Amino acid sequence: MSSNFVGGAYNNNGNGFALLVVLFILLIIVGTAFAKNYY
């Protein structure tokens, strides 16, 4: 039951979570690149 609930939650929110992770990683990459160029 618990495993099925977790799996269902992941399937429902999987795309949004993946998008959030990609956006966060992209923000870090852009931030570090900007920091290297600025300093």
Question: Above 70 in pLDDT, residue 6?
Answer: no
Which domain covers residue 4, as residue numbers?
1-39
Q: What is the mean pLDDT of the chain?
A: 73
Count of domains observed in the chain = 1
Note the pLDDT of residue 38: 75
**Under 8 Å CB-to-CB from 10, ≥6 apart: which residues?**
17
Residues constituting the chain: 39
Q: What's the rounded mean pLDDT across residues 12-38? A: 82
Alpha carbon 12 to its chain's center? 15
Tokens of 26: 């992209």
Intra-chain end-to-end CA distance of the chain, in Å: 53
Q: For the whole prediction, is pTM greater than 0.85?
A: no
Note the pLDDT of residue 1: 44
- Report the C-alpha gap between 19 and 32 in whole angstroms: 20
